[in-house]
Structure 1
Amino acid sequence: MNTFLIFVNIAVLLLLMFGLFFMQKKQVSFSKRVFTGLGLGIIFGYIIHVIYGTGHEVTVGSIDWFSIVGSGYVKLLQMIVMPLIFISIVGAFTKLKLTKNIGKISFLVIGLLLGTTAISAAIGIGSALGFGLDGVELTAGEAENARNEQLQGRVGTVENMTLPQQILELIPSNPFLDLTGARATSTIAVVFFAAIVGLGYLGVKRKDPEHAEFFAKIIDSLYSVIMRVVTLILRLTPYGILAIIAKVAATSNYDAIMQLGTFVVASYVALILVFIMHLLLLSFAKLNPVNYVKKGLPTLTFAFTSRTSAGTLPMTIKSQTKDFGVSDGIANFAGSFGLSIGQNGCAGVYPAMLAVMVAPAVGIDPLSPSFIISLILVVAISSFGVAGVGGGATFAALIVLSVMDLPIAIVGLLISVEPLIDMGRTAVNVSGAMTSGILTSKATGEFENEVYQQKNVVEV
């Protein structure tokens, strides 16, 4: 009987996917198909949750099959990330787009990422204080205790890595290993390697133009093929979002969400304020924030549902270049650095809120100006070091809490609502990367304003 019900759910998913395909044939816009997939996934997933519950055999079996579409789509995106970064950045050198401004571009991208993370930390502190969040009131269950045991084993790694060691982790000793994504810092290492190859190309161009021209043609050909693959994968976005969000809606622990509702609300208030900060920065640069929201929503929606900044990278780059008028090189720099440095949601808002929540437990006044200033500085600096210890909100929180001599157990106590909050954090991370790319491109004169002003998303 359960097997039959699983097949019924699979049939419903296939029917919904056919509906999205029919919309595509009717030339319904990409954005509308993405949001239709999102809405259908929420409704379908919640119905499964209401009928069967989170741990029921039918739910587990159905989600296992749904993952072929959802997780399969994310894996396809992750598959193309490293080749896309490498070819795009080397191609920017062959097209002479980065040579004059590479130092300025790197400084602006990293500066904007770290600066917005510091502001995000201040917003997180304000939200935690405003909602009166107190970590002492949280209680640990079996899952939370198990998570804390894991964290205790990992925190030593965090504490024992100095800032110079974290910086050294960014330099590749084996670039071919990093092209496989084997290390936590592989993305930044590939950017570093691609930049060195690009500089090598410039040296060859001065001494042996014929060989340099041949190399440039190879890179241009590879770039064309890679971008075609990216386009083919991105066309699957509505189907991927449908399956991913159906899984989230079907398996979420709604009781735990209600119990920790204040923390969830406070987190999303902070994340929304950070997003508004991004829009204000664009406004100060005399760019229409409405265009940014309208054309960036498909990418931000996927980041929200998938909870993977790395998997979103092809869409992040496509949005910057095709929809916002950012040059290829800057889009890749901003997108790639944004995966590991200065993540506004994971490395800014989240650890700052946790620090405020546990400070009273060790006799620290969270309203103390010295504590707040110290916390903001630690968050900003630690957000650069997250890449060296694996990245993500958990490690960002571990670093900040360890440096501030605060208890780390609170990280494990929030495991039940982690997926829900992580959706918003990931979207904000991607928004921060795109904002830094747009502002850097405008500051360096490599910005196509007419592309940004176009009202509609470029179809893939």
Structure 2
Amino acid sequence: MDYLLIFFNVLILIILIGILVYMHKKHVSFSKRVFTGMGLGILLGVLIQTLYGADSDITMSTLDWYSIVGSGYVQLLMLIVVPLVMVSIIRSIINLNKTEQLGKMAAWVIGTLITTTLIAAIIGIGSALLFDLNADQITIGQEQTERGQMIEEKYNTMEQKTMPQRVLNFIPSNIFLDMTGQRPTSVIAVVIFSFLVGIATLGVRRKQPEQAELFVRMVDSIFAVVMRLVTIVLRLTPFGVLALMATMVASTSYAGILQLGKFVIASYVALGTMFIIHLVLISVFGLNPMTYLKKVFPVLGFAFTSRSSAGSIPLNVTAQREALGVDEATANMSASFGATMGQNGCAGIYPAMLAVMIAPTVGINQMSFEFIAQLALITAISSFGVAGVGGGATFAAIIVLSSMGLPVALAGVLITVEPLIDMGRTALNVNGSMLSGTVASRMLGTFKRSVFENKNAIVEQKN
């Protein structure tokens, strides 16, 4: 192995990071630095794959070093998810005048997430039918077979659980376990616990105001420290996006993309169509979709490169509060719930397209109204509890395919293009959560239009 070449590749990354640092010193906007990081990452990834190939030892070792910046940034974001969600929600509830508003807030957030997932499933079905996707058209090699076996094993471990049992998993029994993120539904469990603590504080305030005031001051102090921590971590976003994008491009199998090109195109047509529907909904609720798009771009850029809905929560919450004008409580709820349920890309479009592809292999007419209606409803309902991390789409696909009586192993046929498609799916997931927060805040009357219309109110670093 040529260690000099690896050193040279790492040096290039350091130089590009230096360019982003220079842009920061020149007060170039946060959005432009994220976009620049993404562009430089693409160029660097293409250069590495062109020179060494996607599977070479030099490429793998280089990307291992790049992961210190890319994966390290994602891990830092995951680190602050739990304290941010917990403290922010408790603080938000404490500041509410009426607890009845919580029920309305949850109804609008969850209702929007599930409704848009239903629409996304229909879009996914339509795209699969339009492009005439069929699993029989794909050559299944050893890699696809091994992936299919892994999916079947995962299915065997979860097939005994009914939908009510999966929903029951939302309720925390050990909050310290969920704070470590050990369960797929840990984020929602933390949200529920935070709601209960906030409501309990309101009760204490009525009977023991002095004790409640002491707790409120403590929460406010912790909140200030956590938000400062969020600011520090978000400063690293352009660098993280640079390294993540370089890693993705350098390791992507172009041969796999060529073989499954029709599915990749069909997937992005569906994702793009659903994204347009999101913007239409923004305009329906009286907001300028182009203004919305400009303000959420840094969040979508990170979601696209990181492929982590959960990791996007801190940036998601910050963008909703500081750029879109969504109130604090709704922003935290929509970002947290959107990372675990109602994911338009991973739990809506993807499993619906897979089901349409696989149905003909077992003699089912994928164009029948009964099949389409059943698939759309099952996809929307099954979107509860999908993990907001890499692999969540597979989890959703297993639930939908098994519920439709389709072979789950065939979900492994797309492994070679999975990362490329997952980038777009994750961006759509995160945009769906921000859409739900915006819609809920508008309907509850807590939306700050002045912030939304203020061009200077953007996701930006603070000193």
Shift of 1:5: 0.5
Is residue 2:345 matched to residue 1:340?
A: no
Is residue 2:26 matched to residue 1:26?
A: yes
Q: Which amino acid aligns with 1:459?
A: E
Count of paired positions: 460
Give the structure 2 partner of residue 108 of structure 1: 108
- The answer as to whether partners of 1:158 and 1:389 remain within 8 angstroms in 2 is no
- The answer as to whether partners of 2:42 and 2:246 remain within 8 angstroms in 1 is yes
Residues in 1 aligned to 2:292 and 2:148: alpha-carbon distance in whole angstroms: 40
- The answer as to whether partners of 2:86 and 2:190 remain within 8 angstroms in 1 is yes
Please list the CA deviations of residues 18-42 of structure 1 after superposition, one character each: whole Å capped at 9, or x if unmatched: 0100000000111111111100110
Residues in 2 aligned to 1:364 and 1:455: alpha-carbon distance in whole angstroms: 52
Q: Secondary structure at the match of 1:68?
A: coil
Give the structure 2 partner of residue 38 of structure 1: 38
Please list the CA deviations of residues 387-407 of structure 1 after superposition, one character each: whole Å capped at 9, or x if unmatched: 599971001011101010012
Change in Cα spacing, 1:309 to 1:267, as seen in structure 2 (3 Å) is: same
Residues in 1 aligned to 2:318 and 2:384: alpha-carbon distance in whole angstroms: 25
Residues in 2 aligned to 1:135 and 1:105: alpha-carbon distance in whole angstroms: 41
Change in Cα spacing, 1:98 to 1:272, as seen in structure 2 (3 Å) is: farther
Q: Secondary structure at the match of 1:414?
A: helix
Give the structure 1 partner of residue 248 of structure 2: 248
Q: Which amino acid aligns with 1:368?
A: S
Give the structure 1 partner of residue 302 of structure 2: 302
Q: Which amino acid aligns with 2:223?
A: Y
- The answer as to whether partners of 1:121 and 1:352 remain within 8 angstroms in 2 is yes
- The answer as to whether partners of 1:2 and 1:57 remain within 8 angstroms in 2 is no
Residues in 2 aligned to 1:292 and 1:100: alpha-carbon distance in whole angstroms: 29
Residues in 2 aligned to 1:332 and 1:389: alpha-carbon distance in whole angstroms: 18
Please list the CA deviations of residues 53-83 of structure 1 after superposition, one character each: whole Å capped at 9, or x if unmatched: 0121211111111110000000000000001
TM-score with structure 2 length normalisation?
A: 0.97
Q: Secondary structure at the match of 1:310?
A: coil
TM-score with structure 1 length normalisation?
A: 0.98
- The answer as to whether partners of 2:41 and 2:241 remain within 8 angstroms in 1 is yes
Unpaired segments of 5 or more residues in structure 2? none
Give the structure 2 partner of residue 291 of structure 1: 291
Residues in 1 aligned to 2:81 and 2:105: alpha-carbon distance in whole angstroms: 21
- 1-10 or 37-46: bigger deviation: 1-10
Give the structure 2 partner of residue 459 of structure 1: 460
Please list the CA deviations of residues 361-399 of structure 1 after superposition, one character each: whole Å capped at 9, or x if unmatched: 122111111111101010011111435999710010111
Change in Cα spacing, 1:152 to 1:184, as seen in structure 2 (3 Å) is: same
Give the structure 1 partner of residue 195 of structure 2: 195
Is residue 2:131 matched to residue 1:131?
A: yes
- The answer as to whether partners of 2:140 and 2:413 remain within 8 angstroms in 1 is yes
Give the structure 2 partner of residue 281 of structure 1: 281
Shift of 1:158: 3.1
Give the structure 1 partner of residue 181 of structure 2: 181
Q: Secondary structure at the match of 2:364?
A: coil
Change in Cα spacing, 1:390 to 1:156, as seen in structure 2 (3 Å) is: farther
Residues in 2 aligned to 1:421 and 1:388: alpha-carbon distance in whole angstroms: 16
Please list the CA deviations of residues 150-204 of structure 1 after superposition, one character each: whole Å capped at 9, or x if unmatched: 1111112332111121111001101111111111110000000001101110110
Unpaired segments of 5 or more residues in structure 1? none
Residues in 2 aligned to 1:386 and 1:180: alpha-carbon distance in whole angstroms: 17
Please list the CA deviations of residues 194-224 of structure 1 after superposition, one character each: whole Å capped at 9, or x if unmatched: 0110111011000010111111010011111
- The answer as to whether partners of 2:308 and 2:390 remain within 8 angstroms in 1 is no
Q: Secondary structure at the match of 2:110?
A: helix
Please list the CA deviations of residues 276-317 of structure 1 after superposition, one character each: whole Å capped at 9, or x if unmatched: 111111110011000111110110000000000111110000
Residues in 1 aligned to 2:216 and 2:249: alpha-carbon distance in whole angstroms: 47
How is 1:225-244 mapped onto 2 (pairs within 5 angstroms)? Answer: 225-244=225-244
Residues in 1 aligned to 2:267 and 2:369: alpha-carbon distance in whole angstroms: 22
Residues in 2 aligned to 1:108 and 1:411: alpha-carbon distance in whole angstroms: 33
